[in-house]
Amino acid sequence: MAYRSFAHFLDELDRMSELVRIQEPVATELEITELADRQMKASEGGKALLFENPTIEGKVSSFPVAINTMGSERRMARALGVSSIDEIAHQMQLILKAKPPTTLKQGWSLLKQGIDLLQARPQHVSDGPCKELIDRFDICAGLSLKDLPVLHCWPKDGGRFLTLPTVYTQDPDTGERNVGMYRMQVYDDRTTGMHWQIHKVGARHGKRFYERNERMPVAVCLGGDPAYTFAATAPLPDGLDEILFAGFIRKKSVELIRCETCELEVPADVDFVLEGYVQPAELRPEGPFGDHTGFYTPVDQYPVFHLTAITRRRQAIYPATIVGIPPMEDFYMGSASVRIFLPVFKMNFPEIVDMALPAEGVFHNLVFVSIRKQYPYQAYKVMHGLWGMGQMMFSKYIVVLDEDCDVHNTSEVLFRLCANTDPQRDTTFIKNPSDSLDHAPDRPNVGSHMGIDATRKLPSEGYHRGWPELVRMDEKVRARVNELAAKLGL
């Protein structure tokens, strides 16, 4: 199901009693964070909040702020138009099963074709709601970034940050599009930071523009169908178009429209489009920012985004999220990605049964993966494979477990981990790129990762004591006692 607009999605959340509308003026400076954080930490992610009268330095903004709209399993699924994310994972599997690929490369290309076949190809339109109001700064003064209810999230943040922007760029060599979510610090009316970390596709595109000494067109969208927002965060392989992926998820082609001041195309139904450019060699201090890790990331040098135009809907709604000590809204977005891409992981690693990135690990810090173990050192093969796959390269700790362990139950994983490992024998350390946000390594972007083999050990792995059996009740007794317990009211 495709949403006509971000407002349409919010109406759906309202209908599901998943949205609280707040008329009371609430400050974009810290107060919205505090209210939203309490929801995100409440059981099952609390509610989505729509602040109808957010204030900027005490003055009511012309635009409402929506937050935590994807911050629960239910809302995340509804954002993608389904009642359970498993429906999308299942479609993914169907595409891959159509003609079983034998290599990962084949798999991705099949996936691309499969998604393409499902009418996911974008269409091109010449008019749309995101052009209801157009401010081209070469013609008029127009809307300032300071008019947007951009949050100052945490006390020690370096300023206000756009936290749910979808950033559109193009590879100057191939013309290939990319959409990524990279936060943007507001510097003044017309400039922001552009926080694409060095491993991300936006940064790769930027590097090519700088090498060619050309100005890089960049368009940033806010709002619209939440499928766009999700697609921008999903760890798609470099080269799989987020717009195609969004079209596949919403089962409707995305309508693209050309920007006013550059050649880039953006979805026609978004709430705001910030058009502009990034120039070679221009860097500016960005941060600090209360980050996904739960810590402030320090000031660092990042490119600068210059605005040339803002186009928008007449009734535009400003989407936001906050990040910080987990669990936060992004946990549900990350979990949906893992579920959707699990069939792809399984395709290359048929022994994989399930995978979980628990909230405490903030995406990549901690990965639990269960496997059907067949041969010695298979756990290590899976770890090394995962460390070589896209953004899984950041995984700091990978714990491999047997197939009968529920990886979504952290308590069960810890039990297996503690019981089944000899620390020295069952760990391995590697060197790999590390997440730019990880403050623990001595140097940024590089570090060590640890793999733990918590599976049962085989004689062929040098274990000859006879692996013991888990203590479990007899199935027949369980069935009998179920009835008895019901009778006894136990």
Residues in 223-242 at the binding interface with Mn ion, rule: CB under 5 A: 236
Instruction: Indicate which of ligand FMN, Mn ion, none lies near residue 122 (CB less than 5 to 8 Å, by partner kind).
Output: none
Helix (H), strand (E), coil (C) string for 426-462:
CEEEEEEECCCCCCCCCCCCEEEEEEEECCCCCHHHC
User: What are the φ/ψ torsions at residue 257 (nearest 5 degrees)?
Assistant: -135, 145
Say if residues 429 and 383 touch (Cβ distance below 8 Å). no
Q: Which stretch binds ligand FMN (CB under 6 A): 73-81, 196-204, 255-263, 456-464?
A: 196-204
- Taking the least distance from each CB to ligand FMN, the nearer of 63 and 168 is 168
Residue from the set 55, 197, 410, 445 that interacts with ligand FMN by CB under 6 A: 197
Instruction: Indicate which of Mn ion, ligand FMN, none lies near residue 413 (CB less than 5 to 8 Å, by partner kind).
Output: none
CB of 319 to ligand FMN, least distance (A): 10
- Contact string 369-408 vs ligand FMN (x = CB under 6 A): ----------------------x-----------------
- Answer yes or no whether residue 178 interacts with ligand FMN by CB under 6 A: yes
- Answer yes or no whether residue 246 interacts with Mn ion by CB under 5 A: no
Q: What is the DSSP string of 6-63?
A: HHHHHHHHHHTT-EEEE-S-EETBTHHHHHHHHHHHSGGG--EEEESSEEETTEEPSS
- Answer yes or no whether residue 115 interacts with Mn ion by CB under 5 A: no
Does residue 291 carry a catalytic annotation? Answer: yes
Catalytic residue, chosen from 157, 241, 269, 291, is 291
Alpha-carbon distance values, 256 to 9, 168, 243, 314 (Å): 19, 12, 9, 19
Tokens of 437: 């946000």
CB environment 327-362: b (16+ within 10 A), e (fewer): bbbbbbbbbbbbbbbbbbbbbbbebbbbbbbbbebb
Distance CA 405, CA 394 (A): 24
Say if residues 18 and 75 touch (Cβ distance below 8 Å). yes
Q: Please, what's the largest Cα pairwise distance for the chain?
A: 80
Residue from the set 6, 154, 168, 196 that interacts with ligand FMN by CB under 6 A: 196
Instruction: Indicate which of ligand FMN, Mn ion, none lies near residue 391 (CB less than 5 to 8 Å, by partner kind).
Output: ligand FMN
Residue from the set 33, 69, 166, 178 that interacts with Mn ion by CB under 5 A: 178
CB of 248 to Mn ion, least distance (A): 14
User: What are the φ/ψ torsions at residue 348 (nearest 5 degrees)?
Assistant: -85, -25
Distance CA 258, CA 177 (A): 13
- Taking the least distance from each CB to ligand FMN, the nearer of 336 and 353 is 336
CB of 471 to ligand FMN, least distance (A): 41
Instruction: Indicate which of Mn ion, ligand FMN, none lies near residue 235 (CB less than 5 to 8 Å, by partner kind).
Output: ligand FMN
Name 169's Cβ contacts closer than 8 Å, sequence gap at least 6: 177, 178, 180, 201, 202, 205, 206, 216, 217, 218, 264
- Contact string 217-256 vs ligand FMN (x = CB under 6 A): ---------------xxxx---------------------
- Answer yes or no whether residue 180 interacts with ligand FMN by CB under 6 A: yes
Residues in 197-216 at the binding interface with Mn ion, rule: CB under 5 A: 201
Residues that bind ligand FMN (CB under 6 A): 163, 178, 180-183, 195-197, 200-202, 232-235, 321, 323, 330, 333, 391
Residues that bind Mn ion (CB under 5 A): 178, 201, 236
Active site residues: 291
